[in-house]
């Protein structure tokens, strides 16, 4: 990739599945990428995975024994530790102490408000949420959101860096539980489970209408842009013209289901059957390969720029 991020040295703190994927994002953009993990067993596993991914033009990847060594020269820190508020708060105390004064401290959290994580820190103004979609080295969207004391220029610099390393930052204006990506995802999943529980359709049928229907459009256009293309006169005619039908439909959507063991087992059995001899790891590898190809297809076909001035 022909990328040149202004920030040249990045630290990855927490090198599990998300952290190591972040390391690939920054190293392939040419950044010196320094890894630290409180669990000494994680680093070698991350190394093995990254060695399998790396290309000759990647920046150096350096495993560090201490958080201080990892952060010493970093301009940006991406934290991907366990999803527990007390753990994140303690980690951010360490990061705030060890990072150079100008460094941005970003968390991969999918759950917590940066106002809470950064409470009591000396420099909360440089702390920010940068929540990726699994896995970030394949899927570009990253939700970006500061806490109440985060500086505006930290939001801007984070977005600049993310764009420079090939991601698509999406800025949220305020904290909500689940941010926007998981709220949209679980709105659909909630209804999917509701339809399953009421025996309207099977697991395979529900997956198929998304994979062979809705998802083919949503890989190209978001939900509002889809509505805009559904009528010659666009979204005004669509939401205006079908308003009552849409309201009636929304009013009939199901409530939050119970995720009981029997239901989960029913879903698990159906997916096992559909997957057959193929392992989950093979499905993931295939998914990652296909997503890369779809992104290449979009990048090679410039009308794909339609609507891509997001955030």
Scanning residues 186 to 225, which ones bind a copy of itself (CB under 8 A)? Answer: 186-192, 195, 198-225
Residue with Cβ nearer a copy of itself (122 or 183): 183
Which of 133, 154, 155, 159 is the binder for a copy of itself (CB under 8 A)?
A: 133
Residue with Cβ nearer a copy of itself (101 or 251): 251
Give min distance, CB of 95 to a copy of itself, in A. Answer: 24
Token pair 């890894």 in the structure block, residue: 35
Give min distance, CB of 227 to a copy of itself, in A. Answer: 7
Selection from 64, 91, 89, 51 nearest residue 9 by Cα: 64
Report residue 116 CA to chain centroid gap: 20
**DSSP H or E run through 142:** strand 141-146
Residue 82 touches a copy of itself, criterion: CB under 8 A: no
The residues pairing with 36 across neighbouring beta strands, listed in sequence order, are: 13
Please write down the long-range contacts of 65-70, taking CB distance under 8 Å and 24 or more positions apart: 65/36, 66/36, 67/13, 67/36, 67/94, 67/95, 67/98, 68/98, 69/34, 69/36, 70/11, 70/12, 70/13, 70/34, 70/35, 70/36, 70/98
- Per-residue HEC secondary structure of 176-202 comes to CCCCCHHHHHHHHHHHHHHHHHCCCCC
Residue with Cβ nearer a copy of itself (75 or 81): 81
Residue 280 touches a copy of itself, criterion: CB under 8 A: yes
Residue 234 touches a copy of itself, criterion: CB under 8 A: yes
Token pair 């599945």 in the structure block, residue: 17
Q: Which two tokens stand for residue 288?
A: 């990652």
Residue 84 touches a copy of itself, criterion: CB under 8 A: no
Residue 87 touches a copy of itself, criterion: CB under 8 A: no
Give min distance, CB of 16 to a copy of itself, in A. Answer: 11
Residue 270 touches a copy of itself, criterion: CB under 8 A: yes
Q: Which parts of 89-118 interact with a copy of itself (CB under 8 A)?
A: 111
Give min distance, CB of 67 to a copy of itself, in A. Answer: 27
Give min distance, CB of 206 to a copy of itself, in A. Answer: 6
Q: How many residues does the chain have?
A: 311
Which of 40, 259, 262, 299 is the binder for a copy of itself (CB under 8 A)?
A: 259
Under 8 Å between Cβ of 108 and 15: no
Stretch that binds a copy of itself, among 62-70, 84-92, 112-120, 172-180 (CB under 8 A): 172-180
How many Å is the Cα radius of gyration of the chain?
21
Residue 247 touches a copy of itself, criterion: CB under 8 A: yes
Q: Which two tokens stand for residue 130?
A: 């940068």
Residue 3 touches a copy of itself, criterion: CB under 8 A: no
Selection from 106, 284, 188 nearest residue 114 by Cα: 106
CB atoms within 10 A of CB 65: 10
Give min distance, CB of 305 to a copy of itself, in A. Answer: 8
Stretch that binds a copy of itself, among 32-40, 42-50, 87-95, 230-238 (CB under 8 A): 230-238
Give min distance, CB of 251 to a copy of itself, in A. Answer: 5
Q: Which parts of 139-168 interact with a copy of itself (CB under 8 A)?
A: 139-141, 143, 168
Residue 178 touches a copy of itself, criterion: CB under 8 A: yes
First to last CA, the chain: 23
Give min distance, CB of 30 to a copy of itself, in A. Answer: 22
């Amino acid at each position: 990739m022909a990328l040149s991020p202004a920030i040249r040295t990045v630290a990855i703190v927490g090198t599990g599945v998300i952290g190591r994927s972040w390391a690939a994002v920054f190293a392939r953009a040419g950044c010196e990428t320094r890894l630290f993990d409180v669990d000494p067993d994680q680093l070698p596993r991350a190394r093995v995975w990254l060695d399998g991914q790396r290309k000759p033009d990647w920046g150096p990847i350096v495993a560090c024994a201490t958080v201080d060594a990892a952060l010493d020269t970093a301009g940006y820190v991406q934290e991907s530790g366990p999803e527990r508020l007390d753990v994140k708060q303690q980690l951010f105390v360490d990061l705030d102490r060890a990072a150079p004064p100008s460094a941005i401290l970003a968390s991969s959290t999918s759950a917590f408000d940066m106002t809470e994580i950064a409470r009591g820190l000396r420099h909360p103004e440089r702390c920010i949420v940068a929540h990726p979609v699994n896995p970030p080295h394949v899927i570009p969207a990253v939700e970006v959101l500061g806490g109440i004391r985060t500086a505006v220029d930290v939001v801007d610099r984070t977005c600049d860096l993310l764009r420079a390393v090939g991601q698509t930052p999406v800025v949220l204006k305020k904290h909500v539980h689940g941010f926007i990506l998981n709220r949209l995802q679980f709105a659909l999943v909630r209804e999917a489970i509701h339809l399953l529980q009421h025996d309207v359709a099977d697991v395979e049928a529900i997956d198929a209408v998304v994979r062979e229907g809705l998802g083919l459009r949503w890989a190209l256009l978001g939900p509002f842009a889809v509505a805009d293309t559904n009528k010659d006169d666009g979204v005004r005619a669509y939401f205006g013209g079908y308003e009552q039908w849409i309201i009636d439909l929304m009013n009939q959507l199901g409530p939050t289901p119970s995720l009981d063991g029997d239901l989960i087992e029913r879903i698990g059995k159906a997916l096992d059957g559909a997957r057959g001899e193929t392992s989950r790891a093979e499905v993931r590898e295939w998914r990652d390969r296909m997503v890369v190809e779809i992104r290449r297809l979009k990048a090679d076909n410039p009308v794909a720029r339609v609507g891509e001035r997001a955030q």
